[in-house]
Structure formats: structure tokens, C-alpha cells
Amino acid sequence: MARKRKTHRRYSSKAGLPPGTLVLIGNHREEPISIELIDYSGDVHNEQEVVDVSVLKDSLQTSTVSWVNIHGIHNTDAIDAIGKVYNIHNLVLEDILNTDHRPKVEPFEDYVFFTMRMMWYNDENELEKEQISIVFGKPYVLCFQERRGDIFDPIRERIRTDSGLIRRKGTDYLVYRLIDSVVDNYFIITERIEERIEDLEEAITADSDGDHMMVIQHMKREIITLKRALLPLREAVSGLEKGVTELVDPSNAKYFRDVYDHLIQIADNLETNREVLSGLMDMHVANMSNRMNQVMKVLTVIASLFIPLTFIAGIYGMNFDNMPELHWEHGYFYAWGLMIVVFISMLIYFKQKRWF
């Protein structure tokens, strides 16, 4: 299974630069970034596309919750301008631009920085991943995404239709719903992996000669990728649940605890799937070895059958004048008869020994 090679700007591009320098580490995109602003409260709901970053200053003066989705982080000037509006430290902006960053939670005086990975399967059944960086304060939630398109449409619809608790809760509850949506999508991925493992097990059982090793290795890499995203995310969610910041209402801690429990369950499922894949790999290797043993057994039996025949033919093929049977009238037929009798006798003997 061929893997696509992506063009990344690596850490080497930041070598020698001072801390807080805004350099994108990730995929460079050509499309312009877009900013979506959703203001809501129990009685108010407004949505708009933001063209001028300065418009975001007005949302800081309202009593509503402002959910700002930034689709695309490849324009460092725009990210820097957004950071100035919300007074976000350059080190945080630097982490936002690093798409290989480890999921974490980092509280500051007026806001909290949270980062995680959103994952899904594309149309080619390849696992895609994207970093989601969240900065939330009392009146706002900033959601930085690498590109347009996400799994948050159900949340947007709940805000529009005023269903659930979102419009009656604060920014910490919205952050919970964003994290919960990402974690729920992990469940979908693990279910897909389990289905593929079941299909792979049937394929290995039905066709021991198939080339299943590459599929097993590819799935193990996917599980490793998921675990690398899940384990630090579990620690970050635990921090929010245990109150690392006053921006999380204690009454909402139970929601983050629920997400934490889900992450533990997913991690356990992934570990089980990894062990099953290891078992399938052992079974595949054992099947290949058994198949090879069967082939070698057949070849050994065939070689053993022809060894005495080769011996007889070699004896009567020697160039000596004084061989006792050389001038027999029926010597040729006698030699053939002897070889046939030996061949059949050995065949019966091998059959009785159940060698084939």
C-alpha cells in the first residue's frame, strides 16, 4: 500500500530564530484562510464571515459567547493579527503554527490554550489527521484549524436551533462539546479498525498464501498514530477536569470527566486491537511456515522416491564389459520392472507412515 509523501516545512526552518517567531511547521496551502464568527447566548444568535480581523474586537465588548473558527493557519500575518486582538502570547501562536505539536492544555491568566488532533478516514480509506488548537477565555473561543471542513457541524446546528445546553452555558461548555466531538470520532475510527481486523482475520483464515503482512503493518501504524494523539489528550482533558484553570466552571467538570472516561475506553480498545493484530501476524507467519513445510514435505517425498530409481539407472548406465546382466535378453524390462516395484513399495510405505 503506497503512502503519499507530503511536503512539510520541518523544524529546521526555525533553527537559530528567537522564541515566539511565527513560522508554519506543517502543510502549506494556497487557498486563503477564512474566519467564521458565531455569537450566541440564550436569546441571541448571529453568524458571519469575517473579512477584516479588526471586526473581532467588537465581539469582546458583548455579553454573548463568541465562537471564532479560523480555517487555515498558513497565513502567519493573519494569525499574528488575531493574536494581537485577543492578546495571545507569541509562544502560544508559535505552538498553533506547529501542526506536529503534542496535545496539551496550558492555562494563562486570562485564557487557556488547548490543542488536540482531529482524525478521520478519507475517500481512499487512508487515515487523515489535523491539529485543532483552541484558545478560550471568558467571552470567546478561538478554534484554529489547518483547513476548511471539520466535524463540528452538529454543534453549529444545535446553536442555531437552540437545542441542548450550549446556548445557556459558557465558553468552557462549548470547549467540552468540541473536544467531545473529536473524541466521539475516535470511536468511529476504532470501530472501522475493528471491522477491518475481522475482515483481515477471515482473509488470513481463507487464504493463507495471501500477502497480508503489509495490511497488518499499515493498520499497526494507524493504531500507533491514534495512541500518540490519545494518550497526551487524555492528560490534557484530565487537567481541565481537575481544575487547572478557573475558566472551567466546577459544575462542568463532570463533562470533562466523561470525555476522560471515553479516552480511557478508546485507549483500551486500541491496545486490544494492537494485540489482535500481533496475533494475526503470528498466525499469518505460522500459516506461511506450515505452507512451506507442506511444500518441502512433498518435494522431499518426491526426491526420496526417485533416489533408488536414480541408483538403479546409475548402476546399469556404467560402461563395463563384464556386467552379469548386460547381455540378458530381457534385461531392459527387468530393470524397468525393478524400478517400478521399488517406486510402488516406497509409495505404499510413505502412505502408511502418513507422510503425505
pLDDT number for residue 27: 75
> At 82, phi and psi to the nearest 5?
-65, -40
* Res. 8: pLDDT tops 60: no
Q: Is the pLDDT of residue 242 over 60?
A: yes
Question: For position 5, what pLDDT does the model report?
Answer: 47
Name the DSSP class of 31. S
- Residue 76 pLDDT > 80, yes or no? yes
Least confident of 150-159, 297-306, 318-327, 346-355: 318-327
DSSP string, 5-25: PPPB--GGGGTTPPTT----B
- Identify the pLDDT of residue 11: 55
Instruction: Walk me through the domains of the chain, giving residue ranges and CATH numbers.
Output: 10-160 (3.30.460.20), 292-352 (1.20.58.340)
DSSP 215-236: HHHHHHHHHHHHHHHHHHHHHH
pLDDT at 126: 87
- Give CA–CA dist 269/263, Å, rounded: 10
- pLDDT at 7 > cutoff 50: no
pLDDT at 208: 63
CB 159 within 8 A of CB 45: yes
> Taking Cα atoms as reference points, which of 47, 73, 65 lies closest to residue 156?
47
Q: How confident is the model at residue 141 (pLDDT cuts 50, 70, 90)?
A: very high
Closest CA to 113 of 125, 102, 127: 102
Does the pLDDT of residue 329 top 90, yes or no? no
pLDDT tens-digit map of 171-188: 999 999 999 999 999 999
* CB-CB contact of 277 with 198 (8 Å): no
Q: Which amino acid is at 168?
A: R
What's the rounded Cα separation, in Å, for the pair 218 and 231? 20
Residue 207: the pLDDT is: 74
Which burial class, exposed, middle or buried, applies to 346 when counting CB atoms under 10 A from its CB (0-12, 13-18, 19+)? middle
pLDDT score recorded for residue 4? 47
User: What pTM was computed for the model?
Assistant: 0.78
User: What digits encode the pLDDT tens for the residues 244-271?
Assistant: 888 898 989 999 999 999 999 999 999 9
